[in-house]
Amino acid sequence: MAKTQRLDIVTPEKVVFSEEIDFIVAPGSVGELGILPEHAPLVTSLKVGVMRVQQGGKFFKVAVSGGFMEVKNSRVVVLADTAERADQIDVDRANAAKQRAEQRLAQKSAEVDVLRAEAALQRALNRIKTIK
């Protein structure tokens, strides 16, 4: 029997995923991290990106927008600001969010919070990328 590890993906709102997996690739703040069972203990921050999870020989994707990941004793805990599985992302909503963020950035008004609009655009683009 192949070794597995527990993956828990948690946001402030809910538990997104909590099952045994084979392998995970996460968007660490300094690059992608591949985690196999029995990986050395690790704590890292996460950036906006796509996590790729292998479970039972099949891969699925999860869009995350920052947070932290802890690896210890064949258990991976992801505490994410937001996290959505690709099969749960609403394509129309993601495209609408992208369009709103682009419109805010195009205004170049003093009333527009540029950093917030750029972060919203980055999250929307990540959700769209996760679906593909």
Model confidence pLDDT, tens digit, residues 26-44: 999 999 999 999 999 999 9
Give the integer Cα–Cα distance in Å for 97 and 123. 9
77 and 18 in one domain? yes
How many other CB atoms are there within 10 angstroms of residue 38's CB atom? 10
Number of domains in the chain: 2
64 and 38 in one domain? yes
116 and 79 in one domain? no
19 and 43 in one domain? yes
What separation in angstroms does the CA of 9 have from each of 13, 20, 114? Answer: 11, 12, 29
Question: The domain containing residue 117 runs over which residues?
Answer: 90-131
Q: What is the CATH number of the domain that holds 96?
A: 1.20.5.440
- Tell me the pairing of strands 75-80 and 5-10: parallel
99 and 79 in one domain? no
- Name residue, tokens 């959505």: 84
Model confidence pLDDT, tens digit, residues 55-90: 998 999 999 998 999 999 999 999 999 999 999 988
